[in-house]
Amino acid sequence: MIEVSREKFEELVAEALDTIPPELTKVMDNVVVVVVDDPPEPDLLGLYTGIPLTERGEWYAGVLPDRIEIYRNPICSICETEEDVVEEVQITVVHEIAHHFGIDDDRLHELGW
């Protein structure tokens, strides 16, 4: 386990978000990404809550933003170095953003995520 301050962890999440290709970030809509220390249930590194872009229709208006939570303590607990944390944050951010685009866990695993 490695200790990473909340401020440093938030920077790592911001850096991971900066690596998302601009053509994808342009179409991300009504979504917020936040760092949370602990997950609502064990073994979660991140969680997407919302309505994926692929499921939105004409009815979609006036709803609260989708939420991507990246969990600091579980990620730090499985990492031994700061480089491990950087890599795990990147993987988790991509994974949760994929859910925003309607890609489920089975497909992500097929794609190597």
Only one residue has tokens 């991509």, namely 94
Q: pLDDT digits over 27-40, tens only?
A: 999 999 999 999 99
What is the predicted pLDDT for the residue at 25?
Answer: 92
**Distance between CA 13 and CA 27 in Å, rounded?**
19
| Model pTM above 0.75 | yes
Q: Which residues of 39-76 are buried (b: 16+ CB within 10 A; e: fewer)?
A: beeeebbbbbebebbeebeeeeeeeeebbbbbbbebbb
Domains and CATH numbers, the chain: 6-52+64-111 (3.30.2010.20)
Distance of CA 7 to the CA centre of its chain: 17
Got the DSSP string for 38-85? S-SSTT-SEEEES--GGG--TT--SPPPEEEEEEHHHHHHT-SSHHHH
Distance of CA 111 to the CA centre of its chain: 17
Q: pLDDT digits over 45-89, tens only?
A: 999 999 999 999 999 999 999 999 999 999 999 999 999 999 999
